[in-house]
Amino acid sequence: MANTKYVFVTGGVSSSLGKGIIAASLAKLLQARGYRVTIQKLDPYINVDPGTLNPYEHGECYVTDDGAETDLDLGHYERFLNTPTSQANNVTTGRIYQSVIEKERRGEFLGKTVQVVPHITNEIKERIQILGKSGEYDIVITEIGGTVGDIESLPYIEAVRQLKWELGDTNALVIHLTLIPYLSAAGELKTKPTQHSVKTLMESGIKADILVCRTEHELSDDLRRKLALFCNVKKEAVIESIDASTIYDVPNLMLEEGLDTVVLRQLVLRDDDVPNLDSWNNFLDRHKNPKCQVTIGLIGKYVELQDSYKSILEAFIHAGAENEVKVNVVSIHSEYIDKATIDKKIAHLDGVLVAPGFGERGIEGKIKAVQFARENKVPFFGICLGMQMAVIEYSRNVLGLKEACSAEVDKNTPYPVIDIMEEQKNITDMGGTMRLGAWDCELTEDSKVFEAYNKTLIAERHRHRYEYNNTYKEQLEDAGLKTTGVNPKTGLVEIVEIPDHPWFVGVQYHPEYKSTVAKPHPLFIAFIQAAVAYSKNKKSVKVSQKK
């Protein structure tokens, strides 16, 4: 294709309607027709990136191969498309203003008064088109964060208006995602909020080309005609997005509604190919028809908000489908794990995953969970901070270093088995100063991780500042906590295992970020396999005891 086409996804009436899932589902359908597609997210908050945000504020921070700390929607993009994203796929208002102010300081505006229009909007337009101008994509889908009418979203909406005018109607279109609420007292769906939302969009100079209507009930033909008439769109461009049992149903639902066909026709692209969703539907079939089930405890400190561990939860779905297993995840707050409650909270589980995190809150509960899994031979998976807790627990309870800790938690610990990197010690800024992005790791062949990956060199994504302290490596290995993965350039420890445990693996990186529908992560697959074996063994022991 000579020219890249652009699709903009805006939202109205309410937040959390699922713009990211709609964007990813449309991208999947277009990809399944043979088009080269990518998705980007424009976030209206003034933070430079989500890296300094508490997970309760905005869900998890998703990290790309090139080390960008991004919005969690990029995780959906990668999981659906099985293609990596980058720094260019996520832009925030903070980054936009930072760039414009830096240009002004360098004198690039030749003494002009710097204004929202044209300087901020030009910067936004430039960021939107970076991926399109790379020559790698036929279609770029851009999701605009927030809700139409929000003050902070106005520069993005204005930039979209300008781009749509500059590119022309056949090169750019706007999909507006909105809500059709059901009033139980009246017993009917109401279109007025959508009409007002579309009107607000039009007041900014943008006409919605396609309406995607989130609803709990099916839209009748009469209601679709009404929406088309009052919102100035074609009837076939009124798309129903009904509640689904899983987000992975949405591409098929959008296919039935013809969303991809409407988009391709407006962009004057061929639409004669039928999307090839065979692999996708095979995954769905395995996901919905498991042969057994296991219960995994997710030990974390942000468990009240499920989006805090979104990639981990999705990785369990992928690995569960691969193994034809239903994975029931029980969220357990580490702050409330103690000697009195540990048996009640963890003893019934088929596997324990200690999740990533920062700070000292809930640390001791995580350590107790690790100890229980180690001593009772329960399959254990530690990710980032979870791996560090495994090192601390082993140092205290096996090696005998009772005051062992992480320097992040206790700066005065006599045994800092987890310590800050030397080059990090003088850094005062919080954002973007950790070990970020993809780093190489060499695996030991005689190990659980090598069995899972079936290769010796891997590259996984990181997001942390503190590291395994190599000063204690020899002592820990002699005591039985083996190092089975090391960064070849730095010598930093990436993976630890206990060989005489059925499955005890801690990794310094975040494997969940690279798990997709098409390629479930091998460590999650292996962990679920171990949990299934443990569950079957428990059941057989109970049966023999009854006899």
Q: Which residues contact 47 (CB under 8 A, 6 or more apart)?
A: 53, 92, 94
Answer yes or no: 393 catalytic. Answer: no
Q: In sequence order, what DSSP letters do the residues of 440-474 get, joined into one string?
A: EEEEPSSSHHHHHH-SSEEEEEEEESEEE-GGGHH
CA atoms of 449 and 311, how far apart (whole Å):
20
Q: What share of the chain is helix, strand, coil (3-state, %, to 5)?
A: 45, 20, 35
Catalytic residue among 61, 384, 405, 441: 384
Q: Is 510 a known active-site residue?
A: yes
Pair 301, 362: CB distance under 8 Å: yes
The reply to whether 512 belongs to the active site is yes
Considering the candidates 119, 176, 501, 510, report the single residue annotated as catalytic.
510
| Cα 275 to Cα 35: distance, rounded to the nearest angstrom | 10
Q: Is the CB of residue 483 less than 8 Å from the CB of residue 493?
A: yes
Separation CA 349–CA 208 (nearest Å) = 49
3-class SS at 141?
Answer: strand
| Catalytic, out of 213, 240, 512, 521 | 512
Run of H or E including 342: helix 342-346
Task: Annotate 217-253 with DSSP letters as a single string.
Answer: SPPPHHHHHHHHHHHT--GGGEEEEE--SSGGGHHHH
Q: Which of 267, 262, 355, 375 is nearest to 310 (CA)?
A: 355
Dist CA 536 CA 109 (whole Å): 69
Mind telling me the catalytic residues?
384, 510, 512
